[in-house]
Amino acid sequence: MVEGGKASTGPPLGPALGPLGLNLGQIVKEINEKTKDFQGMQVPVTIVVLDPATKKYEIKVGIPPTSALIKKEMGIEKGAAKRKEAVAGNARLDQIKKVAQMKMDSMLANSLQAAVLEVLGTCVSLGVNVEGKDPREVQNLIKRGEIKI
């Protein structure tokens, strides 16, 4: 786990990769580039050494949960404790689209619209309204074509 955009050659990367003779500076640079959108969040990173002789490697970056991305985007600490009685915050549709774009690779959605609908479902769980409306209402507006994604 590394903080988005802030990997360093120190622990845990340095001690784990140093004995393999890999270019730590290059690896850290690539990790920071791939995780820059997740600044301030812990991101799972896997480094697979494909061939120790040629020092060929592959970096796989996991994506934080949708709820964590929504909370970060909105600047809130947590969702509503009782979502039927309280609202944790009010997101803008562009914030929801941004989260959907970040998560597209790990979702089953085959379009941005489908990904946005999925993220809106997480907003329901968090007690987060979108554009001042219940997220389920926004989902219905999108499905009816009244809101274009």
The tens digit of pLDDT for each residue in 101-123 reads: 988 888 888 999 999 999 999 99
- For residue 84, pLDDT beyond 80: no
| 46 strand-pairing partners | 60
| Residue labelled with tokens 């959907």 | 100
Output 119 or 37, whichever has higher pLDDT.
Answer: 119
Name the nearest CA neighbour of 63 among 115, 12, 11.
115
Alpha helices in the chain (DSSP H): 13-17, 24-35, 66-74, 93-103, 112-126, 135-143
Name the nearest CA neighbour of 2 among 33, 37, 41, 30.
41
- For residue 95, pLDDT beyond 90: yes
| 8 Å CB contact between 103 and 62 | no
Q: What predicted TM-score, i.e. pTM, was given to this entire model?
A: 0.68
* Range 37-47 average pLDDT: 83
Output 78 or 100, whichever has higher pLDDT.
Answer: 100
Domains of the chain: 2-61 (3.30.1550.10), 66-143 (1.10.10.250)
